[in-house]
């Protein structure tokens, strides 16, 4: 009989990977797991409660907030505050950083950046949604932590992960030592190791992009989409188009099966639309640790300078071979622009 390993047990067993941490990071990941269980409960009974629909407010991005957006935001902040291992939370739903100034957290070593409920506009139609999180060590040695502690390159992440609330609820995370996935067992209320040492296939047959914006895409992206649609037995084309509209769901599927997810710049979003701190960096860290690749079309996502809390970026992420080909199409576009 296979031994069941819970998230808590796994984190404790791997604690030796971090000689500079004395259990704080393990407890922080545990706090995130606890909040995820609470949010999962509400997501799964959303149709039975008055928690569907819009909250009547907008977030810093100018996007209409769903009731579950607000609820998830509150739950993660509360869990991180009570846990005491996090001094600042940066949330996609809030304009400014949130300082956790309680007696137990003001001297904490870690910063958490979080998208509490990615894809929440899909919740009303029962499409999988998720949470994305990223963890950094604070830079300042003493005194109150500041925005400077948050604005770090993706290469400085000590952990990142996501929770997908779907037909089953999974927590997938990395601490820079590979990627592992845990499925929530509702009978015991624990996340249990179900996908050890996750590896994304080198290539795949799926591409994920909102083709409704095709006319607004750069020429390189248009050319790559056409490439995906042309039959070629050697590269197993044509590829299948699969786009859910929830970054967590699209990338989770591609992580398991192989594929590429693209959210490029458009004429209406010249800097891209997805947030570098809350979405691109954590997902890039996870996919790279699983053997994949993540770029903005020309540069590695994790190497990008972070100068704004809600900074946006384009992203090409997934199976290494597919992302490399997409990059080449973008490079061809840049070359044409330079020549002209």
Q: Annotation-wise, does 122 bind a ligand? A: no
Give the count of beta carbons closer than 10 Å to the beta carbon of residue 135: 24
Q: Annotation-wise, does 100 bind a ligand? A: no
Q: Annotation-wise, does 243 bind a ligand? A: yes
Q: Annotation-wise, does 257 bind a ligand? A: no
Q: Contact, 265 vs 314, CB < 8 A?
A: yes
The single-letter DSSP state of residue 63 is P
DSSP lists the bridge partners of residue 114 as 91, 133
CA distances, 284 to each of 106, 108, 160, 281 (Å): 29, 26, 9, 5
Residues with Cβ within 8 Å of residue 288, at least 6 apart in sequence:
294, 302
Find, among 151, 163, 79, 81, the residue nearest to 115 by Cα: 163
Q: Annotation-wise, does 120 bind a ligand? A: yes
CA distance 168 to 256: 15
Residues with Cβ within 8 Å of residue 339, at least 6 apart in sequence:
none
Q: Contact, 306 vs 277, CB < 8 A?
A: yes
Q: Annotation-wise, does 334 bind a ligand? A: no
Q: Annotation-wise, does 231 bind a ligand? A: no
CA distance 184 to 212: 35
Q: Annotation-wise, does 124 bind a ligand? A: no
Q: Contact, 78 vs 327, CB < 8 A?
A: no
Q: Annotation-wise, does 255 bind a ligand? A: no
Question: Which residues sit in the known binding site for substrate?
Answer: 118-121, 210, 243, 273
Question: Which residues sit in the known binding site?
Answer: 92, 115, 117-121, 210, 243, 273, 279
Question: Which residues sit in the known binding site for Mg(2+)?
Answer: 92, 115, 117-118, 279
């Amino acid at each position: 009989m296979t031994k069941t390993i819970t998230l808590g047990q796994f984190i404790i067993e791997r604690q030796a990977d971090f000689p500079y941490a004395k259990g704080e990071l393990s407890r922080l990941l545990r706090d995130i797991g606890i909040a995820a269980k609470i949010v999962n409960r509400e997501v799964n009974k959303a149709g039975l409660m008055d928690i569907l629909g819009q909250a009547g407010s907008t977030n810093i991005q100018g996007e209409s907030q769903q009731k579950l957006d607000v609820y998830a935001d509150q739950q993660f902040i509360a869990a991180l505050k009570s846990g005491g291992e996090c001094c600042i939370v940066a949330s996609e739903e809030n304009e400014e950083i949130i300082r956790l100034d309680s007696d137990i957290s003001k001297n904490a070593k870690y910063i958490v950046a979080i998208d509490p409920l990615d894809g929440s506009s899909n919740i009303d139609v029962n499409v999988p949604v998720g949470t994305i999180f990223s963890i950094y060590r604070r830079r300042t040695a003493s005194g109150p932590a500041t925005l400077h502690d948050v604005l770090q390159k993706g290469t400085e992440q000590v952990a990142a992960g996501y929770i997908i609330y779907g037909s089953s609820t999974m927590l997938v995370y990395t601490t820079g030592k590979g990627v592992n996935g845990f499925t929530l067992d509702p009978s015991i209320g624990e996340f249990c190791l179900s996908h050890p040492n996750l590896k994304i296939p080198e290539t795949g047959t799926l591409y994920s992009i909102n083709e409704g914006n095709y006319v607004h895409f750069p020429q390189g992206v248009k050319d790559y989409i056409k490439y995906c649609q042309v039959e070629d037995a050697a590269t197993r084309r044509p590829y299948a188009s699969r786009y859910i509209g929830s970054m967590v769901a699209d990338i989770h599927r591609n992580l398991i099966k192989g594929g590429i997810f693209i959210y490029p710049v458009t004429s209406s979003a010249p800097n891209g639309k997805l947030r570098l701190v809350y979405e691109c960096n954590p997902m890039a860290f996870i996919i790279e640790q699983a053997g994949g690749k993540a770029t903005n079309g020309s540069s590695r996502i994790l190497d990008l300078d972070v100068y704004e809390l809600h900074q946006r970026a384009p992203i090409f992420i997934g199976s290494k071979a597919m992302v490399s080909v997409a990059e080449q199409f973008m490079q061809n576009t840049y070359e044409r622009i330079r020549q002209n």
